[in-house]
Amino acid sequence: MSRNVLFSVLLVILSGSTITGCGQHDQKTAKASPTVVKRYAAATALEGVVSDNKGVVKTGVVDATDEKGHLISHAAVDNGHYSIEIPANTALPILLTFSSESGAEKLVAAVIHDTITKYEINPLTTAIATAAKAMGGYTHANMTRAAAETVHTPDANKTTTGWRGDPTTQYGGWH
C-alpha cells in the first residue's frame, strides 16, 4: 500500500510541475510575438484636400515621410487638392505633412492603413496625429483613442458603442 501512496504522491508532484512548466512556456511564447509591419504591396496614390481654419488651402506642398522624418515622396497642392505617389513596399505608418509656401503653416495626417487612399489634412487631423504620438505612436488603437478624445461629439450623436458613423475612416473626418 505504501508503494501505491508513494506512486500517487510522485504522480501529483510531477503533474503539478508539468502544469506549471506549461504555463511558463506559454507566457514566454506570448511575449515573443513579433509586431507585424504593414507595407504597401504596390505603388499607391494617396489623395485628398488640405484645409485650415479659414477653408481650403490653395497652394503648398505635401511631403510623405516615415516616422523618423525620412522623405518618401512629395507633391504640390493645387487649389486645395493633392495626390502623392507612395512606392511599393513602403512601411507604415506614414506622415503626410502639408507646408505652406511661406513655411509658416504645418498640418499633418497619419497614414496607418494600407487600404485607405483618401486623407484629409487639416487642423483636426494634426491634433489627432499629435495626440496619438503622445500616447506612444501611430497605432490603430492610439489613433482611434485620439480621435475619440479630440472630436467633441454631442451625446445625441453617440451610440452605446460610442459613435454613430465611422470616425476612423480618416481619423478626423465624418462620412
Per DSSP, what are the bridge partners of residue 48? 82
| Per-residue confidence (pLDDT) for residue 130, from 0 to 100 | 95
pLDDT tens digits, 109-120:
999 999 999 999
Q: Where are the domains of the chain?
A: 1-33, 44-157
Phi then psi for 106, rounded to 5 degrees? -130, 130
Q: Is the pLDDT of residue 175 over 50?
A: no
**Residue 171 has what pLDDT?**
56
pLDDT over 70, % of the chain: 66
154 class by beta-carbon count within 10 Å (0-12 exposed, 13-18 middle, 19+ buried): exposed
What is residue 25's predicted lDDT score, i.e. its pLDDT? 46
The Cα–Cα gap between 148 and 173 comes to 12
Distance between CA atoms of 17 and 21, rounded to whole angstroms?
6
**CB-based contact 105:99 (threshold 8 Å):** yes
With 70 as the cut, is the pLDDT of residue 165 above it? no
Per-residue pLDDT of 83-97, as tens digits, reads 999 999 999 999 999
> pLDDT tens for residues 24-53?
444 444 444 456 789 999 999 999 999 999
Neighbours of 143 (CB within 10 A): 25
pTM of the full predicted structure?
A: 0.69
Residue 145 confidence (pLDDT): 93
- DSSP letters spanning 37-92: PPB-SS-EEEEEEBEETTEE--EEEEEEE-TT--EEEEEEEETTEEEEEE-TTPBS
Contacts of 17 (CB under 8 A, 6+ apart): none
CATH architecture of the region 44-157 = Sandwich (2.60)
